[in-house]
């Protein structure tokens, strides 16, 4: 090791899902939305004045923050935006998990949480999901440095009730609690109303799934004005201009089209419910997903083998070689056609 390497902040990075370069494939591996963004998003991009690229964007991201505040019926001071929810969550870890006690999160959850903990040297402890992959709220009652969970959880799709979240909050009044709601638009009750009651709660959302805008990179957090102010202080000490001009215009256009948003979600939920039935008939087992993916296991064939066989057909799903979940496949809900191709392959293969 060279001398300078002793001072390197060494990290084990997050591994994102594969983005294959194929022109024709069925891509069900990164929970993207199979439908295009709202028509207004294309219009915002088409009418964008490229000359404006000379200028820095609005550091307060006001058009987007205002649109989101109006949409959720809260004030602008309750909203923080970032470059995808990964950026927002990373900023939350940096800002709020600065104590000596370990932060808590489930053993099976979004695999970026332990990466940020590693990056920022935050001590952490994981709490096992129960056998049905549910979060056990009582596990989060012990003293800690903060709590983060995804609801619905990833990669399981399982939902925690609002009462469960409330009990976690009631037992964690002295630390920040983050509810990562990347998939909440596909089912379940949001913790958002609780931000009025708990000033230590942050609710984090993304445009990558329900708004079909993974490529644009927009995420946001909602919380009490004080907690959002702390987030902004950290952001303005890091990078004033996180949101570029096109993202701001496209994001605001998406928020303005509620009808399209609902229609797209309804379509995905209808496909998800149909695919659940088909997978069950084929003999798959899975937790009841309220997200845009199903985390499924098959008794007599290894998930890794099914994953490889699907890949050979250019059907991409996600497989995690990790304890407790190494016999599961995470299958994103695509279009009806895509799911039909997947099901007919499985019928032949199994
Ligand atoms: N949270 C969860 C639970 C996720 O699954 C993802 C998607 N990988 C994210 C956050 C981050 O999404 P994005 O950065 O695209 O907003």
**Along the 350 residues of the chain, how does pLDDT read in single tens digits?**
899 999 999 999 999 999 999 999 999 999 999 999 999 999 999 999 999 999 999 999 999 999 999 999 999 999 999 999 999 999 999 999 999 999 999 999 999 999 999 999 999 999 999 999 999 999 999 999 999 999 999 999 999 999 999 999 999 999 999 999 999 999 999 999 999 999 999 999 999 999 999 999 999 999 999 999 999 999 999 999 999 999 999 999 999 999 999 999 999 999 999 999 999 999 999 999 999 999 999 999 999 999 999 999 999 999 999 999 999 999 999 999 999 999 999 999 99
Q: What pLDDT score does 1 carry?
A: 84
For the CA of 30, the nearest atom of ligand 1: 8
For the CA of 17, the nearest atom of ligand 1: 8
The single residue listed with the structure tokens 């003293």 is: 143
For the CA of 209, the nearest atom of ligand 1: 15
**CA 153/CA 173 separation, integer angstroms:** 22
The verdict on the CB of residue 180 being under 6 Å from ligand 1 is yes
Written as six digits, the tokens of 235 are 């952001």
- The rounded Å distance from CA 74 to ligand 1 centre is 23
**CA 216/CA 278 separation, integer angstroms:** 33
- The rounded Å distance from CA 93 to ligand 1 centre is 14
Beta strands in the chain, from DSSP E residues, in sequence order: 26-27, 79-82, 103-106, 124-127, 147-150, 177-180, 201-206, 219-223, 284-286, 293-298, 315-316, 318-319, 329-332
Q: At what angle do helices 336-349 and 303-312 cross, to 10 degrees?
A: 120
Instruction: List CB contacts of 102: < 8 A, sequence separation 6 or more.
Output: 123, 124, 125, 144, 145
The verdict on the CB of residue 106 being under 6 Å from ligand 1 is no
Instruction: List CB contacts of 145: < 8 A, sequence separation 6 or more.
Output: 97, 99, 100, 101, 102, 103, 122, 123, 175
Identify the CA nearest to 183 among candidates 56, 348, 6, 330.
330
The verdict on the CB of residue 224 being under 6 Å from ligand 1 is no
- The rounded Å distance from CA 202 to ligand 1 centre is 15
Is the CB of residue 33 less than 8 Å from the CB of residue 209?
Answer: yes
- Mutation test residue for ligand 1: of 154, 160, 218, the one with most atoms within 8 Å of CB: 154
- Torsion sign over Cα 31, 36, 42, 44: negative
The verdict on the CB of residue 208 being under 6 Å from ligand 1 is yes
**CA 294/CA 292 separation, integer angstroms:** 7
The verdict on the CB of residue 88 being under 6 Å from ligand 1 is no
CA dihedral 119→125→131→132, nearest 10 degrees, is -50
């Amino acid at each position: 090791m060279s001398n300078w390497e002793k001072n390197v902040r060494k990290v084990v990075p997050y591994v994102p899902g594969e983005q294959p370069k194929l022109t024709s494939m069925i891509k069900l591996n990164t929970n993207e939305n199979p439908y295009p963004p709202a028509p207004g998003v294309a219009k915002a991009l088409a009418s964008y004045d490229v000359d404006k690229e000379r200028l820095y964007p609005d550091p307060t991201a006001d058009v987007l923050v205002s649109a989101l505040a109006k949409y959720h019926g809260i004030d602008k001071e309750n909203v923080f935006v970032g470059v995808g929810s990964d950026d927002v969550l990373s900023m939350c870890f940096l800002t709020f998990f600065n104590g000596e006690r370990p932060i808590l999160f489930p053993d099976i959850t979004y695999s970026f949480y332990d990466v940020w903990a590693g990056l920022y040297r935050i001590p952490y402890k994981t709490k096992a999901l129960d056998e049905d992959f549910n979060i056990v709220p009582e596990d989060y009652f012990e003293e800690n440095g903060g709590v983060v969970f995804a609801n619905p959880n990833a990669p399981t799709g399982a939902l925690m009730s609002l009462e469960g979240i409330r009990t976690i909050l009631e037992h964690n009044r002295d630390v920040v609690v983050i509810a990562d709601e990347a998939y909440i638009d596909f089912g379940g009750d949001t913790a958002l109303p609780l931000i009025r009651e708990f000033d230590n709660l942050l609710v984090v959302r993304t445009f990558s799934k329900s708004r079909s805008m993974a490529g644009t990179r927009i995420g946001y957090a909602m919380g009490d004005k004080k907690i959002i102010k702390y987030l902004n202080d950290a952001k303005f000490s890091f990078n004033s201009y996180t949101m570029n001009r096109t993202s701001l215009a496209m994001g605001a256009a998406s928020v303005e089209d509620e009808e399209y948003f609902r229609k797209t979600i309804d379509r995905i939920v209808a496909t998800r419910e149909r695919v659940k039935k088909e997978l069950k008939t084929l003999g798959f087992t899975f937790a009841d997903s309220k997200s845009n993916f199903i985390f499924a296991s098959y008794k007599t064939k290894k998930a890794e083998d099914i994953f490889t066989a699907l890949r050979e057909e250019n059907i991409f799903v996600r497989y995690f070689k990790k304890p407790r979940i190494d016999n599961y496949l995470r299958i994103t809900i695509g279009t009806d056609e895509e799911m039909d191709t997947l099901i007919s392959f499985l019928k032949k293969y199994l």
